[in-house]
Amino acid sequence: MIKIAPSILAADFLNLEESINAVLADADMLHIDVMDGHFVPNISIGLPIVKAINSKYSIPLDVHLMISNPDQYIDDFAKAGSDCLTVHYEVCNHLNRSVDHIKSMGMKAFVSLNPHTPIHCLRDIVEYLDGVLIMSVNPGFGGQRFIDSSLRRIQELHEMKKTINPSLSIAVDGGINTDNVNEVVQAGATIIIAGSAIFKSEDPAKEIKKMKGLL
């Protein structure tokens, strides 16, 4: 089953509860981007928002740490209510240790790759992961155009998945909408993360239904 995870980075922050309520019945999880202004050129939201959402909703929270020192915050995000925690390959000097730490806190462990990072870098750790998040835009800002070479990268990871870790989830984030979602899934994606396409539409729930219908 393909899962749709609306990214609240594109939600209305003045009416965040209203934005979440609009997608709650149709979304499979909520994607929360945490940015530090250092690893990526933007600052977004953090622990208080994760904790607040978790206190009201039971939907799984998929937290993506776009930060330079994720290991310092793994415990905190677990306690705040994260169900899945994603760290970046590019900033984890001891990635196996980071993954083990995430799992020890009861969360699913995902590793994300920036568009320029080769897929083969994960070959020696992919068997230990619950999932991989392929960035199909350069991380930091919503509303960017999907990078076409991402399809090849998804396919390459899918081949690695088949031979090493068949249960691996493949998430893709950046520039996905109803025009390209089917291509992304055909390439091997199992989790679609979409922000602007959903929250900037006239009817976010209808947009999710439309995406699922295309699949």
Residue 143 has pLDDT above 80, yes or no: no
State the pLDDT at residue 206: 97
CATH of the domain at 100: 3.20.20.70
What is the pLDDT of the chain when averaged over all its residues? 96
Q: Is 203 tagged catalytic?
A: no
Place of tokens 């390959």: 89
CA-based max dimension of the chain: 46
Q: What is the pTM of this model?
A: 0.96
Q: Please, are residues 141 and 165 in contact by the beta-carbon 8 Å criterion?
A: no
* pLDDT, tens digit, 9 for 90 and up, residues 80-138: 999 999 999 999 999 999 999 999 999 999 999 999 999 999 999 999 999 999 999 99
Specify the number of domains making up the chain: 1
More confident residue, 142 or 42: 42
Active-site residue 28, yes or no? no
Cα separation values, 131 from 27, 61, 113, Å = 19, 14, 11
Q: Active-site residue among 28, 62, 75, 173?
A: 173
Q: In the structure, what pLDDT confidence band is assigned to residue 140 with cuts at 50, 70 and 90? A: confident
Provide the b/e sequence for 101-138 (b: ≥16 CB within 10 Å): bbeebebbbbbbbbeebebeebeebbeebbbbbbbbbe
pLDDT for 215 beyond 90:
no
Which among 33, 62, 71, 179 is annotated as catalytic? 33
Q: Report residue 142's pLDDT band, with 50, 70 and 90 as the boundaries.
A: confident
Instruction: Match 């790759």 to its residue by tokens.
Output: 113
Q: Which domain holds residue 106?
A: 3-214
CA distance 161 to 164: 5
* pLDDT score for 144: 84
